């Protein structure tokens, strides 16, 4: 684990700079803005406590909100996932995705999109993750924890542009049977239930699906997302996407530490 935040290297910036209009004249360097976002993600600091070495927090927040809404950060994540798959000599888009849920506590002063997960005894929100067999996060949906997995995850399938031509199968546990599995079938894909054997107790690694648990575990390296601190679920989703893009940047540039 890296003890302090390290700014983006030239090679890392080169991998994602094409997603920005870097030829336009600006008073701020977009590379500094992205560095500031990754710093907040790693350190968990409040917007107003952003160190002076970065641009003003108001400017950083402006771009975070803008890139969240126009899907710039989602597009960066997709691009980095593709580059990492190419690095492993795979097709750029996966043919199999794995679905799984993480329930997390919500900041006590936030009441929007809050619910109680009776199964895991957590009062907060759920994170629905779509991950490929290499552990790369492609899509994520955040909602109240009292919403059933199969219902909450259905909207994950609404934004699969580019992937749907090759995507053939989605793996999930029993909770994704029903509405989610039906929607998978409507999109001409196969849903496969891959669950722990009923005779087993505790965590049991399931072929291909176990990587989702590893991806969820990686969130512990980013203090901003170890718990949900966001009023808007769209912001929660964006921080999770940013975390995956940070990991992918370090993978494709052979930096072994998270």
User: Among residues 58, 233, 212, which one has the least CA distance to residue 137?
Assistant: 212
Domain annotation covers residue 3: no
Q: What is the mean pLDDT of residues 74-84?
A: 96
Domain annotation covers residue 16: yes
Of all residues in the chain, what percent carry a pLDDT higher than 90? 76
In which band, very low, low, confident or very high, does the pLDDT at 26 lie, cut at 50, 70 and 90? Answer: confident
Domain annotation covers residue 2: no
The model's pLDDT over 199-223, given as tens digits with 9 standing for 90+, comes to 555 555 555 667 888 999 999 999 9
- Total domains in the fold of the chain: 1
Residue-wise burial string across 35-51, b where 16 or more C-beta atoms lie within 10 A, e elsewhere: bbbbbbbbbeeeeeebe
Q: Which residues make Cβ contacts (< 8 Å) with residue 162, sequence separation at least 6?
A: 78, 93
Domain annotation covers residue 138: yes
Torsion of CA 87, 93, 16, 127, to 10 degrees: -110
Domain that residue 101 falls in: 10-252
Q: What is the mean pLDDT of residues 106-118?
A: 94
Looking up residue 229, the CATH number of its domain turns out to be 3.30.420.10
The model's pLDDT over 144-162, given as tens digits with 9 standing for 90+, comes to 999 999 999 999 998 888 8
Q: What is the mean pLDDT of residues 164-189?
A: 90
In which band, very low, low, confident or very high, does the pLDDT at 1 lie, cut at 50, 70 and 90? Answer: very low
Q: Which residues make Cβ contacts (< 8 Å) with residue 202, sequence separation at least 6?
A: none
Domain annotation covers residue 4: no
Question: CA dist 119 to 28, 146, 163, 219, Å?
Answer: 47, 10, 32, 21
E-assigned strand segments in the chain: 96-105, 115-117, 122-132, 137-144, 169-172, 190-193
Q: Which residues make Cβ contacts (< 8 Å) with residue 224, sequence separation at least 6?
A: 40, 41, 42, 43, 44, 239
Q: How far apart are CA 258 and CA 66, in angstroms?
A: 27
Residue 195 has a pLDDT of 64
Domain annotation covers residue 206: yes
Q: How far apart are CA 68 and CA 51, in angstroms?
A: 22
């Amino acid at each position: 684990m890296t003890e302090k935040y390290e700014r983006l290297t030239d090679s890392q910036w080169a991998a994602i700079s094409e997603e920005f209009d870097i030829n336009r004249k600006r008073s701020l360097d977009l590379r500094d803005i992205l560095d500031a976002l990754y710093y907040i993600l790693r350190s968990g600091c409040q917007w107003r406590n952003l160190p002076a070495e970065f641009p003003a927090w108001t400017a950083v927040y402006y771009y975070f909100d803008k890139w969240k809404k126009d899907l710039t950060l989602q597009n960066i994540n997709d691009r980095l996932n593709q580059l990492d798959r190419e690095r492993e000599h795979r097709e750029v888009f996966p043919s199999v995705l794995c679905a799984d849920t993480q329930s997390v506590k919500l900041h006590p002063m936030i009441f929007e999109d809050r619910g109680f997960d009776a199964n895991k005894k957590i009062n907060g929100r759920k994170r629905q993750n779509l991950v490929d067999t290499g552990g790369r996060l492609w899509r994520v949906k955040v909602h109240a924890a009292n919403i059933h997995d199969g219902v909450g995850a259905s909207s994950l399938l609404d934004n699969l542009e580019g992937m749907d031509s090759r995507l053939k199968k989605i793996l999930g546990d029993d909770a994704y049977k029903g509405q989610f599995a039906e929607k998978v079938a409507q999109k001409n894909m196969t849903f496969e239930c891959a669950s722990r054997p009923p005779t087993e107790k505790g965590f049991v690694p399931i072929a291909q699906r176990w990587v989702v648990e590893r991806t969820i575990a990686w969130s512990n390296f980013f203090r901003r997302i170890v718990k949900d601190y966001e009023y808007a679920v769209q912001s929660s989703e964006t921080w999770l996407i940013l975390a995956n893009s940070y990991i992918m940047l370090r993978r494709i540039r052979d930096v072994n530490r998270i």
